[in-house]
């Protein structure tokens, strides 16, 4: 016999009633005003239990049910759905209900009647999703647009609030062209087409571009009938690039290239237009096949080069701003759309300008003179140096021929030395004007770069900007007293400087050279056919003055004797011709021999 068999009917009824009361106790915790253990009789308790169990039987998992807010905690909301235990939902799911309070009714999704801890599993977010899903599905299947708001930027696109649920808008579907700054669109509300739907994964993909393309197609068809070349229309700047701006003409975009924005020079389109600006433009060209419309803004302004020759006559002094510098000159903006070129050769009368940037800089205001105007080619030639007097024109008056002055050697060449007589003005000392007596092979034998030298003005050619200077002319001509210094018959040592085809040139000291004819080279009396047969460069010999001719600047010598012990070099000396030398050779050598 079991323990149950020993119980009386009254005891069994009491145990059953206690179990039912334990089952209803959670209801008492939530609705104490509906429950009092001592208030109801056994029959009333049975009726209440049947009603409570009937309520539980009507609730199924996966359904949207109404709930009542029992408590709002720091990050949770406690809800009563009329079940034996409460459910909780994270507070963040109620972000669309900022005024939530205890007692409010909220629709939620019943995911599970009990979890591992015996609690009801609820979700408001999923309930919201299911509530609008049917509307989204209908819109998708019927290809109807839906309204949404761009919420936040994520990788690859933007999150869109679509009827309270999140949808994904890919970056390529935001607009017809790439959007440079997506952040500027956040918070904006647009119409979208649903292009992909997956309920199981709760994946919704939308597109704004599809709607824009449809609108553009309709507007394009309308514009094709209305738009014509050379037409002037209003448009709104939609986008700006380095090469121009895209203008919305009312559903179709046209390109306003940077070169068609202004007759003047601009470095970036943003100097002329801003996004959202409304402006009038001229239709320059239409290509419907390639969907390209070229627009112009400067074409609505007066052509600046019209009558430019009358505005800027040749010889006019003008002022402008340097807008560009090249290797060959600088471009000066005289007025918007009109620029002139100052060639590097027209920048200074005296300075050797290696690059225009040495004299001018971008943005600098300068004065110039109009040299030439070519309206057809849109070219104006300007000169900066013409604003000042040409110093070369006054040089002949300032420095008459024979003027003695001091200058600095700036450069050496094979034919002479350039000497600066004024800042930027050089004169040339030709190699033939460096010494009265010495045969100068190279200017470096007489002067060095940087030397200060006394020179004499020999000639000034102002037109060709050339000055001839003399170095030897700054000192007394020794040939005026040569006869006193070297009287005929004087014997003195010398050294062979050069071999000539008709004799040898001998250095007799003090940079003075004389000439020994072939007939006076051989002391044995035999005929000499070539100077190289009996002499060589550097050979020492004692000579006698036979003739001094100050007028023709020549000295004729004869060999007295040749010191012994000299060796001929292995390499023979070069024999020069008369044309290669600047030492005057007597024309009649036989006459010289007879005189001796």
Beta bridge partners of 435: none
> 48 burial class (0-12, 13-18, 19+ CB within 10 angstroms)?
middle
List of long-range contacts for 299-302, beta carbons under 8 Å, 24+ apart: 299/260, 300/232, 301/263
**CA-based nearest residue to 184, from 192, 175, 193:** 175
Return the pLDDT at 381.
Answer: 92
Domains assigned to the chain: 16-126 (2.40.50.140), 145-212 (2.40.50.140), 227-300 (2.40.50.140), 308-387 (2.40.50.140), 391-474 (2.40.50.140), 479-595 (2.40.50.140)
Distance separating alpha carbons of residues 175 and 210, to the nearest angstrom: 9
Distance separating alpha carbons of residues 182 and 275, to the nearest angstrom: 14
Q: What is the pLDDT along the chain (596 residues), one digit of tens a residue?
A: 444 445 565 655 555 555 445 544 444 444 444 445 455 555 555 555 555 454 444 567 777 788 888 888 888 888 888 776 778 888 888 877 878 888 888 888 787 777 666 678 888 888 877 778 878 888 888 889 999 999 998 888 999 988 878 899 998 888 877 787 888 888 999 999 998 888 777 789 999 998 888 887 777 777 777 888 888 888 889 888 889 999 888 777 889 999 888 887 888 988 888 888 889 899 999 887 787 889 998 888 888 888 888 888 998 899 999 988 999 999 999 888 888 999 998 888 777 788 998 889 998 999 999 999 988 888 999 999 888 877 888 888 888 888 899 999 998 998 999 998 888 888 999 988 888 777 788 898 888 999 999 999 999 888 888 899 998 888 877 777 777 778 888 888 999 988 888 888 998 887 788 899 988 887 666 677 888 888 888 899 999 989 888 877 888 998 888 888 888 888 877 777 765 555 455 444 444 434 43
Backbone angles phi, psi at 375, to 5 degrees: -65, -40
For 340-384, give the secondary structure using H, E and C: EEEEHHHCCCCCCCCCHHHCCCCCCEEEEEEEEEECCCCEEEEEC
Distance separating alpha carbons of residues 233 and 127, to the nearest angstrom: 51
* Residues 546, 488 contacting (CB under 8 angstroms): yes
Return the pLDDT at 429.
Answer: 92
Neighbours of 314 (CB within 10 A): 12
**CA-based nearest residue to 174, from 188, 186, 162, 157:** 157
């Amino acid at each position: 016999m079991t323990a149950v068999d020993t119980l009386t009917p009254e005891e069994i009824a009491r145990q059953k009633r206690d179990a039912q009361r334990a089952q209803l106790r959670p209801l008492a915790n939530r609705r104490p005003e509906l429950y009092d253990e001592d208030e109801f009789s056994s029959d009333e308790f049975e009726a209440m239990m049947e009603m409570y169990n009937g309520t539980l039987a009507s609730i199924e998992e996966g359904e949207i049910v109404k709930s009542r807010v029992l408590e709002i905690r720091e990050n949770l909301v406690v809800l009563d759905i009329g079940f034996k235990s409460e459910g909780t939902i994270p507070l963040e799911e109620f972000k669309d209900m900022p005024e939530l309070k205890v007692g409010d009714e909220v629709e939620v999704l019943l995911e599970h009647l009990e979890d591992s801890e015996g609690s009801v599993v609820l979700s408001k977010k999923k309930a919201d999703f299911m509530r609008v899903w049917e509307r989204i599905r209908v819109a998708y299947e019927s290809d109807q647009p839906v309204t949404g708001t761009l919420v936040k930027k994520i990788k690859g696109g933007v999150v869109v609030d679509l009827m309270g649920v999140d949808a994904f808008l890919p970056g390529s579907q935001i607009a017809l062209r790439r959007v440079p700054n997506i952040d500027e669109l956040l918070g904006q509300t647009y119409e979208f087409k649903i292009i992909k739907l997956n309920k199981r994964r709760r994946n919704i993909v939308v597109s704004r571009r599809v709607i824009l393309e449809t609108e553009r197609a309709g507007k394009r068809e309308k514009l094709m009938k209305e738009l014509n070349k050379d037409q002037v229309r209003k448009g709104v700047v939609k986008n700006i690039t380095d090469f121009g701006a895209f203008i919305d003409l009312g559903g179709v975009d046209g390109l306003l290239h940077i070169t068609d924005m202004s007759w003047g020079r601009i470095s970036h389109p943003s100097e002329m237009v801003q996004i959202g600006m409304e402006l009038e433009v001229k239709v320059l060209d239409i290509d419907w096949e390639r969907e390209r419309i070229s627009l112009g803004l400067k074409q609505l302004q007066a052509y600046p080069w019209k009558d430019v020759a009358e505005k800027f006559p040749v010889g006019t002094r003008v002022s402008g701003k340097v807008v560009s510098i090249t290797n060959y000159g600088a471009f000066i903006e005289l007025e918007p759309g009109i620029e002139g070129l100052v060639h590097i050769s027209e920048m200074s009368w005296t300075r050797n300008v290696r690059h225009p940037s040495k004299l001018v800089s971008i943005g600098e205001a300068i004065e110039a003179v109009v040299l030439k105007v070519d309206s057809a080619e849109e070219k104006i030639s300007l000169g900066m140096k013409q604003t000042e007097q040409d110093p070369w024109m006054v040089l002949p008056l300032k420095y008459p021929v024979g003027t003695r002055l001091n200058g600095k050697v700036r450069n050496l060449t094979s034919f002479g030395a350039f000497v600066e007589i004024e800042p930027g003005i050089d004169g040339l000392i030709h190699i033939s004007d460096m010494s009265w007596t010495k045969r100068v092979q190279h200017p470096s034998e007489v002067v060095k770069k940087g030397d200060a030298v006394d020179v004499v003005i020999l000639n000034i050619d102002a037109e060709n900007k050339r000055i001839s200077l003399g170095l030897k002319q700054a000192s007394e001509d020794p040939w005026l007293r040569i006869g006193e210094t070297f009287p005929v018959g004087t014997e003195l040592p010398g050294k062979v400087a050069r071999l000539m085809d008709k004799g040898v040139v001998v250095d007799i000291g003090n940079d003075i050279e004389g000439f020994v004819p072939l007939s006076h080279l051989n002391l044995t009396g035999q005929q000499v056919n070539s100077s190289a047969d009996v002499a060589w460069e550097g050979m020492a010999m004692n000579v006698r003055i036979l003739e001094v001719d100050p007028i023709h600047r020549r000295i004729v010598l004869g060999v007295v004797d040749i010191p012994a012990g000299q060796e001929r070099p292995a390499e023979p000396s070069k024999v020069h011709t008369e044309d290669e030398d600047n030492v005057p050779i007597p024309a009649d050598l036989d006459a010289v021999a007879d005189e001796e």
